Amino acid sequence: MARDTVRPAKDLCSDCGLCDSRWVAYVKRACAFLHQDFEAMERRHHGRSRDLDQEDELYFGVHERMVTARMRAPIDGAQWTGIVSHLGAKALEQGLVDAVLCVQQSPEDRFTPVPVLARTPEEVMAARVNKPTLSNNLSVLEQLPGSGIRKLLAIGVGCQIQALRAVQDTLPLDALYVLGLPCVDNVSRQGLQTFLESASDSPETVVHYEFMQDFRIHFRHNDGRQETVPFFGLDTPRLKDVFAPSCLSCFDYVNAGADLVVGYMGAEYGRQWLVVRNQRGAALLDLIKADLDLAPVTSRGDRRAAVQQGIDAYDKAVRLPMWLAELVGWVVQRIGPKGLEYGRFSIDSHFTRNALWLRRHHPEVVDRHLPAFARRIVERYRLPST
């Protein structure tokens, strides 16, 4: 299918890549923006669906274990300490899989994603660092038939993993392991440029960035320089509509279908958050456990007032002067939510924003597109009128 062809999900398409493969035939039941069934997906791959009356499962999905970690020997050039890259390389070295579905970058542009089926640890390492743009990862499924790949580790974000899970039984594989990344607010390459130009003092030299638990965006530049900008200092009027419609209508921040999730949102600053959802996830963690500094999850603070204030500020596109943004950031960093409570803050903030966006832009899909867990979370807050 040509890349400029209108996709079945139309403006809500996240360009997951399924429609660029022969598995496009399954799109009506596989696309996260045409059909969602979190309960069935969780039961199929984790043995049960999440308990909505259990607070941690309501927010973070089915899990056997949550921990925080960092690499004992950080990988040079990795976005944080390199847990995801190390796990992919280790899975190949140990013969657990024949290939790793990961994302390298275009030689011409550091932020243009190039999905690959990596066969060597070196190819996995070439994919280190996130590319915060829409990426058609599942297009490489087209390469599986006749490739000799029978065991695959797939690394991806929620919409990609939902589609992958829906077609999993039709793939020419004997084993599939899924390593999920928490994901919100991806953009097109053009949208990314707008963001970088509005937020960084040197957009042309940024090699990666992340919205971190200290309520600051951390930019790393190609000369090694670190730049940070407070969340509250962003040019909200300019950036309010820069994110992809698919991301503004997504409620799978925590990647509910993955075997193992690795991100930062549920950990204290400087550590990563790992969610083991099932026995395959446990097997993945076991591969690298000896190489990690592991610690229990923690939770401090109360997110609720900050979430409600953020709903109103975002809806009104409020932009604070930088001196005030720095002051607010300093205060919130010291008394604001930490650990799992920061994770809940981020989920609440995005779910309420996205529910409001859906009601305003696609009211016809709200009933079927807002999953039960998201609905329960959103109902805790007061949303502006539509």
Model confidence over 109-148: pLDDT tens digits?
Answer: 989 999 999 999 999 999 998 888 899 999 999 999 999 9
Give first-to-last CA distance, the chain, whole Å: 36
- CA of residue 128 relative to chain centroid, distance: 15
Query: Residue 54: helix, strand or coil by DSSP?
Result: coil
Angle (nearest 5°) at CA 236 between 369 and 330? 110
Continuous H helices in the chain: 27-30, 38-46, 55-60, 83-93, 121-125, 158-167, 189-199, 236-239, 279-288, 304-315, 322-335, 340-361, 366-369, 372-378
Q: pLDDT-derived band of residue 2, with 50, 70 and 90 as boundaries?
A: very low
The yes-or-no verdict on residue 251 having pLDDT over 90 is yes
Query: Residue 338: helix, strand or coil by DSSP?
Result: strand
CA distance 102 to 87: 12
Query: Residue 140: helix, strand or coil by DSSP?
Result: helix
In a domain, residue 363? The reply is no
In degrees and rounded to multiples of 5, residue 256 shows phi and psi of -65, -25
In a domain, residue 133? The reply is yes
Q: Which of 186, 179, 185, 119 has the alpha carbon at shortest distance from 153?
A: 179
CA distance 1 to 349: 36
In degrees and rounded to multiples of 5, residue 263 shows phi and psi of -155, -155
Give the residue-averaged pLDDT of 225-254.
89
Contact 267, 273 (CB under 8 A): yes
CA distance 273 to 340: 9
In a domain, residue 162? The reply is yes
Give the residue-averaged pLDDT of 201-215.
90
Give the residue-averaged pLDDT of 193-221.
91
pLDDT of residue 319: 76
In a domain, residue 336? The reply is no
Give Cα separations from 268 to 70, 96, 107, 327 (angstroms).
Answer: 11, 31, 34, 21
In a domain, residue 195? The reply is no
In a domain, residue 79? The reply is yes
340 strand-pairing partners: none
The yes-or-no verdict on residue 101 having pLDDT over 70 is yes
pLDDT of residue 4: 54
Q: In the structure encoding, which two tokens stand for residue 293, read together? A: 């500094």
Q: What is the DSSP letter of 273?
A: E
- Look at the block and give the residue holding tokens 């409020």: 318
Give Cα separations from 44 to 26, 32, 258, 259, 288 (angstroms).
Answer: 18, 16, 12, 12, 26
Q: Which of 322, 311, 343 has the alpha carbon at shortest distance from 212?
A: 343
Q: In the structure encoding, which two tokens stand for residue 27, read together? A: 């799109």
Q: Is the pTM of this model over 0.85?
A: yes
Q: pLDDT-derived band of residue 5, with 50, 70 and 90 as boundaries?
A: low
pLDDT of residue 1: 42
Give the dihedral of Cα atoms 339, 342, 343, 346; nearest 10 deg: -160
54 strand-pairing partners: none
The yes-or-no verdict on residue 6 having pLDDT over 80 is no
Give the residue-averaged pLDDT of 267-292.
97
As a three-state string, the secondary structure of 174-217 is CEEEEEECCCCCCECHHHHHHHHHHHCCCHHHEEEEEECCCCEE
The yes-or-no verdict on residue 333 having pLDDT over 80 is no
Angle (nearest 5°) at CA 127 between 153 and 107? 140
In a domain, residue 327? The reply is no
Q: Which of 333, 254, 263 has the alpha carbon at shortest distance from 301?
A: 333
Contact 97, 121 (CB under 8 A): no
Higher pLDDT, 315 or 51: 51
In a domain, residue 285? The reply is yes
Tally of domains within the chain: 1
Per the structure, the complete domain to which residue 139 belongs is given by: 10-186+246-296
CA distance 103 to 88: 12
Q: Mean pLDDT in the chain?
A: 93
Contact 291, 72 (CB under 8 A): yes
Residue-wise pLDDT tens digits, 237-249? 888 778 899 999 9
